[in-house]
Amino acid sequence: MIYGDIVNTVSKTYAKEILQPEYGECLDRLLTEVRSKLYGIRNGIDYDELNPATDKLLKANYDVRSLDARVVNKLALQEEFDLEQDEDIPLLAYMGRIDMQKGVDLLVEIMRPLLKDFRVQFIVMGSGDGGLMEMFRQLKKDFPAKVGAHLMADFTLPRLIFAGADIMFYPSRFEPCGIVPMEGMRYGAIPIVRATGGLADTVEQFDPAANTGTGFVFQTFDGWSLFAQTIRALEIFRQKKVWRELQKRAMMQDNSWEARAREYLELYKKAIHFRNKRLIEEERLRGEDVSL
């Protein structure tokens, strides 16, 4: 990092966060010294592979112009998890590693009152911390008609979750980049994220007045903040026309590797420029030394 012309990480917000002791992994002082050449470019996703219009793992294909067909996948997902098949019930999902870093403990905290007081369904797929997984198992036992759990690895089910879930959770404590929200948005699953790392750069807060945004964002890492944004998302879900426009904006975000490649090209041009500038300065200094 000291001798490099450019230092890059996987999101702009994370590049700022790692200057703090909380995120810097004991390198925050060094990173602060090189902050003038510290950049952040998010990862991308494969738009050819992850394409709801052609994905053979779905029950029905669709795009932004044929979103009505998406409901076929929702009904199939509800059936897969032994839940009531009803397109009007909000289907919430978490998919990924089940551990504290991902903020799964916040989900456990808010899900019980949500399931008790609201007409919603919740599915979880993933594996990880044994204690957290047991909490999800207990949640399924307590709300068997509302909760589906697949607590193991699966290489085909994720696509159906992306294409069938209405809302997906990403409440991470920290997240350098965050690929899964990009994948979900590609399929029209609306994200609820904590504003950290790449999640903050990927998801724009929904603004009903301006009719902008691609999801729902909470700042403080606590259950109440996540709960509040979830309730807000459920309220918007009932407004079908507004929700559909929100889905379209999420699906139309360009998180492709092609877009990221253009960013990397510009960054490498900067690296070459900085290197040439440094070499010229070194040559000048050597010339001054010789003259002495």
How far apart are alpha carbons 149 and 121 in whole angstroms? 11
The answer, yes or no, to whether residue 136 has pLDDT greater than 90, is yes
The residues that bridge with 95 in the sheet, in sequence order, are: 125
pTM for this predicted structure: 0.94
How far apart are alpha carbons 73 and 189 in whole angstroms? 12
pLDDT, tens only, 233-255: 999 999 999 999 999 999 999 99
What's the rounded mean pLDDT across residues 185-213? 98
What's the rounded mean pLDDT across residues 156-176? 98
Q: Which one has a higher pLDDT value, 282 or 24?
A: 24
Q: Where are the domains of the chain?
A: 7-41+259-291, 67-252
Spatial CB neighbours of 181, under 8 Å, sequence gap ≥ 6:
168, 170, 191, 193, 199, 202, 203, 215
Torsion of CA 152, 158, 163, 165, to 10 degrees: 30
Q: What CATH number should be reported for the domain whose range is 67-252?
A: 3.40.50.2000
pLDDT of residue 72: 99
**Residue 291 confidence class, pLDDT cut points 50, 70, 90:** very low
What's the rounded mean pLDDT across residues 89-108? 97
pLDDT of residue 290: 40
Residue 86, amino acid: D
Q: What is the mean pLDDT of the chain?
A: 96
